[in-house]
Amino acid sequence: MTMTLTQLGAFVLVARLGSVRAAADVLGVSEPAVSRAIAALRQHLGDQLLVRDGNGMAMTEGGSRLFGIASQMVALGSDAEAAVRAAKGAPARLRLLVASTIAEFIATPLLEAFGRRWQGTFDASSGVASVAEMRVLLPNRLADVALGPDLRGDASSGLISEPVLKYRIVLVAGRDFRAAGAPGRWPWLVDSSGTDPDSDTGRLLRGFRVPESSIRVFPNQTAAWAAAADGLGVAPAVATLVSRQLRRGELRVVDTELTPATACWYVTTLNPERRSAPARSLRNFLSTPDAMQLMCSPGTGVSPSRFRPPVYVTIWS
């Protein structure tokens, strides 16, 4: 009554090759075997998925949706065996979730330093997630540690957040910005955390009741700040991370009733007995002077071999 990986594999191959017969040849089975695998999927999902199109097969819209998902599933299926086999004697893995602000400046150098400190005993990677996503990924063990706001919403989840670093949130704007009207009417330039209601940025936007029409979302903080420097509006920022732009005079601080404000980054893990070994290590590492130093000063980049592209948790479904 449930889909099967072989069925999905057959479907993916047919969709890719545009032919049932060709797929059967590649798989080394008879053609009705493939045909029936697809028939089973059709019935289970209630969609034709693949329809005859002249010589070969074309995907319906539903089939196209399935295709992306099914491709991932079969790829993951083969990954699984490789991953488990490779795990024998391999370094333990640490998956760190970070809020987008942290991701941009801190996550990469932090993990780089962490990896250097433990010299191959840990294999660390980071992913960007919203607060809501962190709340579900951590208890489900899809990640080991989260770095961002306090996550102890409900004690039942078994999550423990501990303060790591206090910081100041300021509002910055270009040199020639003239404050006119209430802050809620200004143009706000934010990074993607502006769409996360539980983030600092989200709270700030809510605090000033900034209407959607006054918000421009940029793909990252630096781009938002560059736009602010160009006089397009105001942007929230962590004080230590914009110090260079402030020092050079590209940006200046704008005071409001809600800013400057102090906030705190927390490290969140499962409770101690359920906590994984890598999670324990990173949690300890965060309190070392090295880590403190990294978090206070803007990143200076990492060497290419160490670079890991950021990973976003949601994939196109």
Partner DNA sequence: CACGCCGATAACCGAATGGTTAGGACTTCT
Partner DNA sequence: AGAAGTCCTAACCATTCGGTTATCGGCGTG
Instruction: Using CB under 7 A, list all residues that contact DNA.
Output: 1-2, 4-7, 19-22, 27, 29-33, 35-40, 50, 52, 54-57
Judged on CB neighbours under 10 Å (0-12, 13-18, 19+), 88 is exposed
Start-to-end C-alpha separation, the chain: 22
| Closest distance of CB 303 from a second copy, Å | 6
| Closest distance of CB 241 from a second copy, Å | 10
State the CB neighbour count (10 A cutoff) for residue 123: 15
Cβ nearer to DNA, comparing 55 with 300: 55
For residue 206, the partner it binds in DNA, a second copy, none, with Cβ less than 5 to 8 A by kind, is: none
Strands (E) across 28-108 are located at 50-53, 56-59, 92-98
CB 50 within 8 A of CB 60: yes
| Closest distance of CB 28 from DNA, Å | 7
Cβ nearer to a second copy, comparing 21 with 163: 21
Structure tokens at 50: 């693949």
For residue 223, the partner it binds in DNA, a second copy, none, with Cβ less than 5 to 8 A by kind, is: a second copy
CB 18 within 8 A of CB 56: yes
Secondary structure (3-state) at 147: strand
| Closest distance of CB 163 from a second copy, Å | 25
Q: How far is CA 253 from the centre of its chain?
A: 29
For residue 245, the partner it binds in a second copy, DNA, none, with Cβ less than 5 to 8 A by kind, is: a second copy
Cβ nearer to a second copy, comparing 63 with 115: 63
Cβ nearer to DNA, comparing 15 with 295: 15
CB 34 within 8 A of CB 23: yes
For residue 155, the partner it binds in a second copy, DNA, none, with Cβ less than 5 to 8 A by kind, is: none
For residue 178, the partner it binds in DNA, a second copy, none, with Cβ less than 5 to 8 A by kind, is: none
Cβ nearer to a second copy, comparing 218 with 265: 218
For residue 165, the partner it binds in DNA, a second copy, none, with Cβ less than 5 to 8 A by kind, is: none
| Closest distance of CB 272 from DNA, Å | 16
For residue 243, the partner it binds in a second copy, DNA, none, with Cβ less than 5 to 8 A by kind, is: none
Cβ nearer to DNA, comparing 17 with 227: 17
Among 108, 152, 145, 109, which residue's Cα sits nearest to residue 129?
A: 145
Cβ nearer to DNA, comparing 2 with 305: 2
CB 279 within 8 A of CB 99: no
CB 226 within 8 A of CB 219: no
CB 214 within 8 A of CB 185: yes
